Amino acid sequence: MKAHGVVGLVLGAALLASGCGGGAATGGQTEIRFIWWGNDDRAKVTNEAVRLFESRNANIKVSTSFQNFQNYFEKLSTEIAGGNAPDVIQMDYRYLNEYAGRNVLLDLTPHVGKEIRTTDWDQGFIGSGKLRGKQVAMPLAQNSTTIVYDPKLFSAAGVKAPEIGWTWADYREAAAKIQASTGGKVAGSTDFGGTEDVFETWLRQRGKALYTDEGKLGYTKDDLKAFWQLSKDFRDAKATTPAELVTTLNAGAEQTPLGKKLSASEHSYDSLYGGYNTVRPDELKLGPYPSDSKEVLGSYRKPSQLISASARTKHKEAAVKLIDFLLNDPDAGKILGANRGLPANLKIREAVAQNLSGANKVIFEYQKSVDAKLGDAPAAPPKGDGTIYKLMQRKHEEIVFGKKTIDQALDEFWRDAEEALK
Amino acid sequence: MPYLFLGPWLLGAIGLTVAPMVVSLYLSFTDYDLFNEPQWVGLDNYAKLFGDDPRYLHSVGVTLRYVAWSVPSKLLLALAVALLLNALRGKGQAFFRSAFYAPSLLGASVGLALAWRAIFDTWVDTPDHALVTIVLLSAWQFGAPMVIFLAGLQQIPRDLFDAAAVDGAGWWRRLWSITLPMLSPVLFFNLVLETIHAFQAFTQAFVVSGGRGGPADSTLFYTLYLYERGFTEFRMGYASAMAWVLLVAIALITAVLFRTSRYWVFYGDER
């Protein structure tokens, strides 16, 4: 009997101790937690940069972890709700309002230009981390929408590679020729009708935006209808992937039709080129979006990722220090390279550009080729955009599988999208 | 003293099951969003579920279809294999029993669902076939009810069969008039258990559909939609209401099964 009591006590004590131990300072050291989403490549360089930070700041210990994008925000939200928020958080443009609107991100405004240096920055780009006058995040790097394509298939079909000035009709014709030239085995393009990023770029080409400044839908039913019709035109012309492949969009590069060699081209972000290049080394290139407008390409300088601190961090100073280090330290910049896109600090961007190879080189060259055409980023999307993003994908799927007509899908999309923005 | 021994279990049951359930019942009447203080909204969540959420009703339909297909196919397979194994007495029965049980051990694993996804690649990506693949995946994991059936079969007194054989009863006759009635309590037990499990199915659908219930919502299980509302849209109040409706529905269906059991379940000592 007694023995059991003792065992119980010891177990209880152990539980208590382990419960209190997490995240607390050990031996006069500050310990902070930094989390991001990404793959092993990114983990390697990020951890290397963090180790360098620790060696320069002996009193700060940084524990890190990462997830893939899909699981990341689910884990983050539960951790924050459980009062166990990480101190430094990689943030996504699409989720910025979702989190900042709920007051879980630290306002960095007092530190910008001081502990977080910004002299070597494009000042307009800093603003992409601002919401209602508060700097709730700093952009980590820049990316833009692009067409990733297989140049061999383009030349084998005798069509021109993507270049500034080509139109959606040009794209459709080229894609149809490629598809025919492979006997239908490889699609000319990946169906884009369910992807909000593509829709946004297309809208911008027509002088519109996804959202108004008030956070309402910035387009009409007719706009979306025309976009879905555009995607249908590709299907009717036998220029794009079949319905079954639509569902694999937005996955890792190895799961996309282009990554699986089932498509000759697809809409993506240049910062994802590293992933494509791992699956199909040195086989793919980047080109500009087609546009029916001579002046506007639609792509913009998007913060590929941002970095924030938790509003509830107990170690504000250390968190801010780590953020500045990742953004502005030349050695950290060298280690991180273009893994997250073009570095936000222009001096570091230049230094990285001097020493390019492989995927990084392709990304930099693409950005250079379209730079004159890139717009500034719009305000971060409102709360509810994450839901709308999935909604668009789902409704488009229902159209492609013939479950709904475009008009039915449109009505349902509209109702649910407005509900999501409430 | 007995409560002292029960203590660890009681602590766990109260702390990890009862308390969260009570909290979730409370939250189901609020607009809790994970970050802000919950605000009381009365029956709004429940009203919206049934009045203003076509996707919710769709997910109920998908789940009912899944239950209606997966439970009978799993039980039939389990019973068939158990009958086979029972006939094997001593001739490698132990080996085959383990072999057929193996898929169930791996059953809930993510790795297996991923393998399934890869094998049925194109099926999984077509709305008309996606649910079928998940039903197949679940039916294949018939090990647990099979082992229980087998134990039940071995409990049936041999002399019943011998007497029937002397009277000239064939295999089917013996199955219908002896095996099934004698096995009915076990069948009932398996039916209740598998029905409850099927309503709560999550992992397979989550992995096979990449967490989206797709394509085109064809595998949007109840639990998957609950998860999406709660953890990707942060509508925890709404998700809690969904969880409670599911709990009540499962309780009702189980009660109905128990009511019907008096007509077809035969306990040896009754007559």
Give the tens place of pLDDT for each residue, A99-130: 888 888 999 999 999 999 999 998 888 988 99
Closest partner residue to A387 (CB to CB) among B212, B214, B233 is B233
* Closest chain B residue by Cα to residue A396: B216
In a domain, B74, yes or no: yes
Nearest chain A Cα distance for residue B207, angstroms: 12
What would you report as the CA-atom Rg of chain A, rounded to the nearest whole angstrom? 23
Identify the contact set of chain A against chain B, taking CB-CB distances under 8 A. 8, 70, 73-74, 77-78, 80-81, 98, 102-104, 243-248, 251, 386-387, 390, 394, 397-398, 401, 403, 412, 420
Nearest chain B Cα distance for residue A247, angstroms: 6
Could A397 and B216 be called an inter-chain contact, meaning their C-beta atoms sit closer than 8 Å? yes
Query: Which chain B residues are Cβ-neighbours of A103 within 8 angstroms?
Result: 35
pLDDT band (50, 70, 90) for residue A22: very low
Give the tens place of pLDDT for each residue, A40-86: 888 999 999 999 999 999 999 999 999 888 788 888 988 888 888 99
pTM for this one? 0.83
Write down the number of H helices and E strands in chain B. 15, 0
Query: Which chain A residues are Cβ-neighbours of B54 within 8 angstroms?
Result: 412
Could B211 and A70 be called an inter-chain contact, meaning their C-beta atoms sit closer than 8 Å? yes
Nearest chain B Cα distance for residue A400, angstroms: 9
In a domain, B94, yes or no: yes
* Distance spanning both ends of chain B, measured CA to CA: 41
- Whether A217 and A421 have beta carbons less than 8 Å apart is answered as yes
In a domain, B49, yes or no: no
Q: Domain total for chain B?
A: 1
Give the three-state DSSP class for A134. strand
User: In the predicted model, is pLDDT for residue B96 greater than 90?
Assistant: no
In a domain, B101, yes or no: yes
Give the three-state DSSP class for A121. strand
In a domain, B46, yes or no: no
Average pLDDT over residues A334-362: 88
Domain at A145-299+384-421, CATH homologous superfamily? Periplasmic binding protein-like II (3.40.190.10)
Look up the CATH number of the domain holding residue B63: 1.10.3720.10
Domain boundaries, chain A: 28-142+304-359, 145-299+384-421
In a domain, B269, yes or no: no
Query: Which chain B residues are Cβ-neighbours of A248 within 8 angstroms?
Result: 125
Peptide bond into B215 cis (omega under 30): yes
Average pLDDT over residues A389-410: 93
In a domain, B38, yes or no: no
Instruction: Count how many pairs of residues, chain A against chain B, have C-beta atoms within 8 Å.
Output: 62
Closest partner residue to A77 (CB to CB) among B34, B125, B215 is B34
Taking the CA of residue A109 as centre, how many other CA atoms within 13 Å lie in the half-sphere pointing to its CB?
A: 7
| Sign of the alpha-carbon torsion through A289, A292, A295, A300 | negative
User: In the predicted model, is pLDDT for residue A411 greater than 60?
Assistant: yes
In a domain, B1, yes or no: no
Structural domain including B247 reads: 56-264
Domain with residues A28-142+304-359, CATH architecture: 3-Layer(aba) Sandwich (3.40)
ipTM for the whole complex: 0.78
